[in-house]
Amino acid sequence: MSAKELLDEAMKLKPEERFTLVEGLIKSLDEPDKKLDEIWAEEAEKRLNAYREGKLEGIPMEEIFEEE
């Protein structure tokens, strides 16, 4: 079934049923991706180690959020 067909069928539902459907779809998009979380955790660890070893220079928070 195509997305258009699904939408056409969903539009036949009662408003509260459509709300439940939309809510479920939105929640499915917000679920964390464990693999992606692992990749970011590894990258953060690499950056922290590089900083501690003097291979990476830090930037003061004030400079990052400074308005120009």
Residues 19-29 have pLDDT tens digits of 999 999 999 88
pTM across the whole model: 0.49
Distance CA 23, CA 17 (A): 10
Phi then psi for residue 16, to 5 deg, are -65, -30
pLDDT at 6: 94
Long-range contact set of residues 11-20: C-beta below 8 Å, sequence gap at least 24 = none
pLDDT at 42: 97
Range(s) of the domain holding residue 65: 32-68
Distance CA 31, CA 40 (A): 16
What confidence tens digit (pLDDT) does each residue in 2-59 have? 999 999 999 999 999 999 999 999 998 888 888 999 999 999 999 999 999 999 999 9
Do 42 and 12 share a structural domain?
no
Do 40 and 22 share a structural domain?
no
